[in-house]
Amino acid sequence: MKRILITGGAGFLGSHLSKKLLDNGHEVLCADNLFTGRRQNIAPLLDHPNFEFIRHDITNPLYVEVDEIYNLASPASPIHYQFDPVQTTKTSVLGAINMLGLAKRLKIKILQASTSEVYGDPAVHPQPESYWGNVNPIGPRACYDEGKRCAETLFFDYYRQHNLKIKVMRIFNTYGPHMQANDGRVVSNFIMQALHNESITIYGDGSQTRSFCYVDDLIEGMYALMNTGDHVTGPINIGNPGEFTMLELAETIIELTNSKSKITFKPLPIDDPKLRRPDISKAREVLNWEPKVQLREGLEKTIDYFQSQLAKEVKLVPLKVG
């Protein structure tokens, strides 16, 4: 049994990782400031004897005794990371410094949840780990993109300078239960609009592409990377190489929800990537990992989750008397 710290443990990915680690017999210390994480994500875990939650912002040092660290803390959708861009950068940079310092003191292994956004609006497609990216350092997305890039720099400097055991994974678009309905991500946006029979909003002409990885697959890849030998540092892309246009995604969700929604188009946001698809050759070779859940199957599970959340909200509405 290991005692494992997950920063951002009440978030979308962190809550799924917490459950997996508990199921595998470990103790989990979940740290989250609940800016985008939610108590309801970890509510089923709170009574578990091996689970502990602390409310903490990793821009401040954390003094705990653990055996491994998964550093997942960061807002990940444009709506959230652009709400307070300075704090977003601090979370990536100061958070990395604080967690790396903790790992150095304890002489333990630490995993950084980086992002495909380090590739920016790519000029290379699909994106291999060797690609240095095409990022606007002063644009509205830079607080997230450059914050994550700087965090990777810090991880590899600690590796070279202090011989720290590091793992760096670059996460591509991930979806599934525990996503927030209002987080601005394309899958949750489209599903909620479809369930309410509202117009589905596509930014641009719908030809831009994304690759969508179901959360269970992503967590398996994350766990596999953490448990490789110390010589494997990454960065390693973890995502689904299936590539879909926004128009294809919207049409599939309308079909699966039997929605009456129509599709409307709006201008593309500044610096929004036109193409996104991971080259996962390295993950296949080094981790023996590749995603198993196809998009339609994953969307069906995610739609079921949001439908259940809507049903709970309806039950909470007070009945009118008289």
What positions carry a catalytic annotation?
144
Q: Which helix (H) or strand (E) holds 266?
A: strand 263-266
Q: Which residue from 274, 271, 141, 139 is spatially nearest to 205, judged by alpha carbons?
A: 274
Q: Please say whether the beta carbons of 204 and 268 come within 8 A.
A: yes
Alpha carbons 258 and 58: distance in angstroms, whole number: 43
CB-based contacts of 96: which residues, under 8 Å, 6+ apart? Answer: 71, 112, 150, 151, 154, 155
Q: Please say whether the beta carbons of 173 and 212 come within 8 A.
A: yes
Tell me how far CA of residue 58 lies from CA of 137, 212, 315, in angstroms.
Answer: 24, 28, 36
For the CA atoms of 258, 262, 263, 264, what is the dihedral angle to 10 degrees? -150
Alpha carbons 184 and 77: distance in angstroms, whole number: 6
Encoding tokens for residue 10? Answer: 């009440």
Q: Which residue from 29, 24, 30, 27 is spatially nearest to 10, judged by alpha carbons?
A: 30
Encoding tokens for residue 194? Answer: 């479809």
**Percentage helix, strand, coil, to 5, in the chain?**
40, 15, 40
Q: Which residue from 251, 180, 171, 256 is spatially nearest to 214, judged by alpha carbons?
A: 171
Alpha carbons 49 and 67: distance in angstroms, whole number: 18
Distance of CA 211 to the CA centre of its chain: 13
Task: Classify 267 as helix, strand or coil.
Answer: coil
Alpha carbons 47 and 166: distance in angstroms, whole number: 31
**Residue 102: what residue type?**
L
